[in-house]
Chain A
Amino acid sequence: MSDKPQPPGELLRDTLDMLILKTVSRGAMHGYAIAEHIEETSEDVLRVGEGALYPALHRLELRGLLSAEWGTSENKRRAKYYRLTAAGRKWLGEESAHWTKMTSAIGRVMETA
């Protein structure tokens, strides 16, 4: 069920995962903060509904790339905080290296063409 092809126009799943992990790598964050941060830094590239974040977060938790625990938010509400695990850090490293390589390759092609 996790391997369904995604409709076009949506952010590729691995890319979303990478953005989430990258965001969380700065420290434990709850879902809303993650959404806010991705939105701010990506200048609205993420036009999917914010809700799409949650299946992704849970999937990453199940894969062991994120760990989660319940805490209290700034405004004293119960909130679930996600944190990068060692496996998550490793995966992020690999994935972002791969990403850099690919984008620079694409960039070169686009410039020369």
Chain B
Amino acid sequence: MLSEWQRNLWLRVKALIHRRRLDRDLEDEVSFHLAQREQKYRSEGLPPETARHATRRKFGNDTLLREQTRDMWTFNWIETLWQDVCYSARGLRKNPGFAAVVVFSLALGIGANSTIFSVLNAVLYRPLPFDQPDRLMMIWETEYGHKTQPPVAEIIDWNRQNNVFEDIASSSRTEAEPLGGGGGLPELIQTQFVSPNFFNVLRVRPLLGRIFLTSEIHDQTQTVVISHAFWMRRFGGDPNVLGKTFTVSGVLSTVVGVMPRGFAPFYGDKIDLWYPINPAGDRYSKRDDRGWLFAFGRLKPGVTRDQAEAEMAIIARRLEQTYPKTNKGIGVIVEPLHEALYNWAGRVLYPLAAAVGFVLLIACANVANLLLSRTETRRKEHAVRASLGAGRRRLMQQVLAESGLLAFLGAALGVVLTFGGIWLFRLLAGDFPNSASLGVDRNVLLFTLAACLLTTVLSGSLPALLASRPDLNLALREGEHRMTSGGRGRIRQALAVVETALAVVLLAGAGLMIHSVLRLMQVNPGFDPHNLITAATSVPEGGKYLDRVPGGSMEKTSPLVNAFYQQLAANLAALPGVESVGTISFLLGGDFRDFYILGQPSPPPEKMPGAMYNEVSPSLFHTLRIPLKKGRFLDSHDTSSSPWVVVVNEAFAKRYIPHEDPIGKRLLLRYRGYGVDEPQPRQIVGVVGDVRHVGLARTTPEMIYAAYFQQPAAYPGGTVMPHLHQDLVIRTASPLAGREAEFSAAIKKAVAKLDPDQPVTDITTADRLLASSIEDSRFYLQLLATFAAMAVLLAAIGIYGVMAYFVRERTREIGIRIALGAQGRSVLGMIAQLGLKLTCLGIVIGLAMALGLTRLVADLFAVSTSDPATIAGVVLGLLVIALFACYFPARRATQVDPMVTLRYQ
């Protein structure tokens, strides 16, 4: 059964379609009534004339009744609204320049908001693209309060003991691994280790073939599931790909399945393939092998997150009792997967959303200004209409129709700008989670619609309120309609102040950001980055370079690894134009080792100090031009047969050996997370200058540089990576500019000559590498600066509008002043004084707001909140812009011809 309003609507729609019939029917009905009544009167003996009049009298005002009835049936309010919209459109067409500026400023505001919303939507609001994503939970371990990731053995216990999850799966982070030649050039591919139930928990089926069996082991040969993108790229979408083999990290890999397009959990990485983790394999049996796996589970139906966490906590306590050695102090946190993966993005994106919100507010203030000045000039019209009986609602509706029209035009153009904005955002941001799915979807359109409505109300309500209360007496008196009541002028001026304040906030934010990025660009990286080429190479964790020691997690390197890097460095150094060549595990970053200093009391395991760790060639310091502070550099005499030595940086010496001479101290390194010490200690032979190994924006880490050729034969688990992976740094003898391609080709050729299966990637210059280390800040800066520029532009338009109106309404006064002998300068001064007053007020309010708000961004990007020079720059810049916006109206004022203005009245 239809509800009342549905039925009502249906009848009205029907009436709308059969409009003429409705009119005719109503006509018939009324005339039937009149005829019946008249006939009755006549039958009672009244004369025809009298009968007709009596009938009319008795019936009342039939025109009004007909109108009332018709209103009831039709969408009358829509029609009057439409009339108002048409009226507004005509008004705007008369002043197309200003209308275009206002619409465009709204479009900028709405477009920028929709763009940021579409990013929020893609990253934060859209559910994960899996079946019933809200039941997927990330399960963290906590170690002394810090989140860590559980070892495989723990996940097995969880799966056995819990009753709250259907299943718990795990996956490693995405890792880059070299893919050997054979069917293509060697390249680095993105891989993940996953538990066999990984795909089941996510409820995703392969496009082709199958997923992993629980019995499959990653060892000398392995099965892999490949991604759609990899299938297309490497195999051209060959339907017979199943059973094909290739070598990854030197291991022969057989394709057993292909996943559907777009499946790439969870970071939007372009994952190429998945290896199975076989939980039964002894490689994963260690209970303290923490920190490399994400565990996530699917809740059973009806189980809440709290219930799950409560039960997991009980299991954690039980495990603590069973395995006190490895599980002491280990707790569990259950967190919705979506939150665990993407919540960090909110802290970055919400300040941006606030910034674009400010831009839209400024645009709204501009529209309100325009509407106020229009209602001002139409006060007489409003008064006349009000005297003739127009209701307040009707008068308000007309102003709101105008703001609605502007907002709608702005929103329509804003959607177009959103497409552009998204394109730009992608261009600037590069890869971020779900960047592929970023776009204008239903949610974004709904958001735009909401922004449009909000704009209508924000910009229209104040002018509408004023228009609905016309002063009938004042407005109808001739000659006085050019005087504005002071109150209304002040409202407009207040709007200009607000606009300026908002612009100051954005400008201050952007200014502080610029300041900090400039400062970062001047940070001394600790080495000479000019004329330095860097590249990454890695020998595979398997194949001929690496043997797995049976019955444990140890991996034994083959002498081929040392030979490879020794030969490669020699070959590269022999290239023409190369001054020197060095290698280091990770130029930006490093592995970690815990350590203790021999001769000092050894701390308990959980309090053991740690430092960053890199294996380097002796020539590295010389090549990078890292200054020596004490002792000596590593050199070619530090071979496998001589005592093991290390060089540390000043930060290390200052923090860990502050009161003694560090030279001669001996460190025993421990593989972090494995509880295994190195077979022999290493003696500190030198202290070198600090290098910003983790990027210009971060503080220098304490660093241990170990000699590449002084290494154990076998490493536990993944700790072998700093040995297998080496970044090449090559200093050229002459300026590098313009010869990068030449060197790049030569480096590739040199690597391929040694081992055609080894890829060499990321060939770039150290200058560029450093720049990319502050890319996030730079990207943020670009966005903020863009929004600030918009805000300033819009605020300037606003100030211009207010000043122009101020001049226009004072034309007569100015004319009289000039007629009485006022100089152009004093007229100019009068205008400038008001402009300055408004701007300064705005700046003061804005600065107060900025000091509070920039703190939000400051924490994220290490921005100082109060840099006096920047603030002064912002203030000065805004003053100049504001004065510029005042200049044109002021000049017009000085050119007022007193005769014309006086005659005009």
- Are both chains from one complex? yes
Interface residues of A (CB under 8 A from B): 1-2, 30-32, 35, 48-52, 54-55, 58-59, 61-64, 70, 73, 77-80
Q: Which residue of B lies closest to A33 (CB)?
A: B36
Q: Which residue of A lies closest to B33 (CB)?
A: A32
Q: When the two chains form their complex, are residues A62 and B11 in contact, meaning their CB atoms are under 8 A apart? A: yes
Given contacts A58-B72, A59-B72, A64-B4, whether A50 and B32 have CB atoms under 8 Å apart is no
Q: 10 tightest A-B contacts by CB? A: A49-B60, A51-B60, A51-B65, A32-B36, A51-B59, A55-B68, A32-B33, A58-B69, A80-B29, A50-B59
Measured CB to CB, the closest approach of chain A to B760, in angstroms, equals 78
Q: When the two chains form their complex, are residues B60 and A62 in contact, meaning their CB atoms are under 8 A apart? A: no
Q: How far is the CA of A79 from the CA of B28 in the complex (A)?
A: 8
Q: When the two chains form their complex, are residues A50 and B72 in contact, meaning their CB atoms are under 8 A apart? A: no
Q: Which residue of B lies closest to A31 (CB)?
A: B33
**B76 interfacial contact with A, CB 8 Å:** yes
Q: How far is the CA of A52 from the CA of B76 in the complex (A)?
A: 20
Given contacts A73-B32, A79-B32, whether A62 and B58 have CB atoms under 8 Å apart is no
CB-CB contacts of B45-62 with A at 8 A, as 1s and 0s? 000000000000011111
Given contacts A32-B37, A78-B32, A79-B32, whether A52 and B60 have CB atoms under 8 Å apart is yes
Q: When the two chains form their complex, are residues B59 and A55 in contact, meaning their CB atoms are under 8 A apart? A: no
Q: How far is the CA of A77 from the CA of B69 in the complex (A)?
A: 22
Which of B68, B71, B77 has the most chain A CB atoms closer than 10 A to its own CB? B68
The interface residues of chain A lying within 8 Å CB-to-CB of B11 are 61-62
Q: When the two chains form their complex, are residues A62 and B73 in contact, meaning their CB atoms are under 8 A apart? A: yes
CB-CB contacts of B16-49 with A at 8 A, as 1s and 0s? 0000000001101110110111000000000000
Q: How far is the CA of A70 from the CA of B36 in the complex (A)?
A: 16
Q: How far is the CA of A39 from the CA of B70 in the complex (A)?
A: 25
Given contacts A48-B60, A50-B59, A63-B8, whether A55 and B29 have CB atoms under 8 Å apart is no
Q: When the two chains form their complex, are residues A55 and B7 in contact, meaning their CB atoms are under 8 A apart? A: no
Q: When the two chains form their complex, are residues A62 and B8 in contact, meaning their CB atoms are under 8 A apart? A: yes
The interface residues of chain B lying within 8 Å CB-to-CB of A1 are 71-72, 76-77
Q: How far is the CA of A20 from the CA of B558 in the complex (A)?
A: 103
Of A30, A35, A77, A80, which one neighbours B25 at CB under 8 angstroms? Answer: A80
The interface residues of chain A lying within 8 Å CB-to-CB of B37 are 32, 50
Of A61, A64, A78, which one neighbours B28 at CB under 8 angstroms? Answer: A78
The interface residues of chain A lying within 8 Å CB-to-CB of B62 are 51
Which of A31, A48, A55, A61 has the most chain B CB atoms closer than 10 A to its own CB? A55
Q: Which residue of B lies closest to A59 (CB)?
A: B72
Q: When the two chains form their complex, are residues A50 and B60 in contact, meaning their CB atoms are under 8 A apart? A: yes
Q: Which residue of B lies closest to A48 (CB)?
A: B60
Q: Which of B66-108 contact A (CB under 8 A)?
A: 68-69, 71-73, 76-77
Q: Which residue of A lies closest to B37 (CB)?
A: A32
Q: Which residue of A lies closest to B65 (CB)?
A: A51
Q: When the two chains form their complex, are residues A54 and B58 in contact, meaning their CB atoms are under 8 A apart? A: no
Interface residues of B (CB under 8 A from A): 4, 7-8, 11-12, 25-26, 28-30, 32-33, 35-37, 58-62, 65, 68-69, 71-73, 76-77
Of A48, A54, A61, A77, which one neighbours B30 at CB under 8 angstroms? Answer: A54
Of B7, B8, B58, B71, which one neighbours A50 at CB under 8 angstroms? Answer: B58
Measured CB to CB, the closest approach of chain B to A71, in angstroms, equals 11
Q: How far is the CA of A64 from the CA of B76 in the complex (A)?
A: 20
The interface residues of chain A lying within 8 Å CB-to-CB of B59 are 49-51
Q: How far is the CA of A23 from the CA of B95 in the complex (A)?
A: 59
Measured CB to CB, the closest approach of chain A to B35, in angstroms, equals 7
Q: Which residue of B lies closest to A74 (CB)?
A: B36
The interface residues of chain B lying within 8 Å CB-to-CB of A58 are 69, 72-73
Q: Which residue of A lies closest to B71 (CB)?
A: A1
Report the number of A-B residue pairs with Cβ-Cβ less than 8 Å.
71
The interface residues of chain A lying within 8 Å CB-to-CB of B77 are 1
Q: Which residue of B lies closest to A35 (CB)?
A: B33
Could you list 14 A-B pairs, sorted by A, with CB under 8 Å? A30-B32, A31-B29, A32-B36, A48-B60, A49-B61, A50-B37, A50-B59, A52-B60, A52-B65, A58-B73, A62-B12, A63-B8, A80-B25, A80-B28
The interface residues of chain A lying within 8 Å CB-to-CB of B25 are 70, 80
Q: How far is the CA of A48 from the CA of B76 in the complex (A)?
A: 26
Measured CB to CB, the closest approach of chain A to B373, in angstroms, equals 32
Which of A1, A49, A77, A78 has the most chain B CB atoms closer than 10 A to its own CB? A49
18 further A-B contacts with Cβ under 8 Å, apart from A49-B65, A77-B35, are A1-B71, A1-B76, A1-B77, A31-B29, A32-B32, A32-B36, A32-B37, A49-B59, A51-B59, A54-B26, A54-B65, A55-B68, A59-B72, A62-B12, A63-B4, A64-B4, A73-B36, A77-B32
Q: Which residue of A lies closest to B77 (CB)?
A: A1
Q: When the two chains form their complex, are residues B29 and A54 in contact, meaning their CB atoms are under 8 A apart? A: yes
The interface residues of chain A lying within 8 Å CB-to-CB of B73 are 58, 62
Q: Which residue of A lies closest to B64 (CB)?
A: A51
Which of B8, B26, B33 has the most chain A CB atoms closer than 10 A to its own CB? B33
The interface residues of chain B lying within 8 Å CB-to-CB of A35 are 33
Q: How far is the CA of A30 from the CA of B12 in the complex (A)?
A: 22
Measured CB to CB, the closest approach of chain B to A105, in angstroms, equals 30
Q: When the two chains form their complex, are residues B72 and A51 in contact, meaning their CB atoms are under 8 A apart? A: no
Q: When the two chains form their complex, are residues A50 and B35 in contact, meaning their CB atoms are under 8 A apart? A: no
Q: How far is the CA of A79 from the CA of B69 in the complex (A)?
A: 17
The interface residues of chain B lying within 8 Å CB-to-CB of A30 are 32
Q: Which residue of B lies closest to A87 (CB)?
A: B4
Q: How far is the CA of A112 from the CA of B173 in the complex (A)?
A: 88
Measured CB to CB, the closest approach of chain B to A26, in angstroms, equals 18
The interface residues of chain A lying within 8 Å CB-to-CB of B12 are 62
Q: Which residue of A lies closest to B11 (CB)?
A: A62
The interface residues of chain B lying within 8 Å CB-to-CB of A52 are 60, 65
Q: How far is the CA of A77 from the CA of B36 in the complex (A)?
A: 10
The interface residues of chain A lying within 8 Å CB-to-CB of B26 are 54
The interface residues of chain B lying within 8 Å CB-to-CB of A51 are 30, 59-62, 65
Q: How far is the CA of A61 from the CA of B22 in the complex (A)?
A: 14
The interface residues of chain A lying within 8 Å CB-to-CB of B68 are 55
Q: How far is the CA of A54 from the CA of B72 in the complex (A)?
A: 11
Q: How far is the CA of A71 from the CA of B32 in the complex (A)?
A: 12
Q: How far is the CA of A51 from the CA of B29 in the complex (A)?
A: 11
Q: How far is the CA of A59 from the CA of B37 in the complex (A)?
A: 23
The interface residues of chain B lying within 8 Å CB-to-CB of A61 are 11
Q: Which residue of A lies closest to B15 (CB)?
A: A62
Measured CB to CB, the closest approach of chain A to B676, in angstroms, equals 82
The interface residues of chain B lying within 8 Å CB-to-CB of A54 are 26, 29-30, 33, 65, 69
Given contacts A1-B77, A54-B65, A62-B11, whether A49 and B32 have CB atoms under 8 Å apart is no
Q: How far is the CA of A51 from the CA of B56 in the complex (A)?
A: 9
Which of A50, A59, A80 has the most chain B CB atoms closer than 10 A to its own CB? A50
Which of A49, A51, A62, A73 has the most chain B CB atoms closer than 10 A to its own CB? A51
Q: How far is the CA of A28 from the CA of B35 in the complex (A)?
A: 20
Which of B29, B59, B73 has the most chain A CB atoms closer than 10 A to its own CB? B29
Q: Which residue of B lies closest to A49 (CB)?
A: B60
Q: How far is the CA of A30 from the CA of B32 in the complex (A)?
A: 9
Measured CB to CB, the closest approach of chain B to A108, in angstroms, equals 35
Q: Which residue of A lies closest to B9 (CB)?
A: A62
Q: How far is the CA of A30 from the CA of B68 in the complex (A)?
A: 19
Given contacts A49-B58, A50-B58, whether A62 and B29 have CB atoms under 8 Å apart is no
Q: How far is the CA of A58 from the CA of B11 in the complex (A)?
A: 11
Q: How far is the CA of A58 from the CA of B58 in the complex (A)?
A: 20
Q: When the two chains form their complex, are residues A64 and B65 in contact, meaning their CB atoms are under 8 A apart? A: no
Q: How far is the CA of A67 from the CA of B29 in the complex (A)?
A: 15
Measured CB to CB, the closest approach of chain B to A56, in angstroms, equals 10
Q: Which residue of A lies closest to B70 (CB)?
A: A58
Q: How far is the CA of A55 from the CA of B25 in the complex (A)?
A: 14
Q: How far is the CA of A30 from the CA of B62 in the complex (A)?
A: 17
Q: How far is the CA of A64 from the CA of B10 in the complex (A)?
A: 11
Q: Which residue of B lies closest to A63 (CB)?
A: B4
The interface residues of chain B lying within 8 Å CB-to-CB of A79 are 29, 32
Q: How far is the CA of A30 from the CA of B22 in the complex (A)?
A: 17
Given contacts A49-B60, A79-B32, whether A2 and B72 have CB atoms under 8 Å apart is yes
The interface residues of chain B lying within 8 Å CB-to-CB of A59 are 72
Q: When the two chains form their complex, are residues A62 and B65 in contact, meaning their CB atoms are under 8 A apart? A: no
Measured CB to CB, the closest approach of chain A to B79, in angstroms, equals 12
Q: Which residue of B lies closest to A30 (CB)?
A: B32
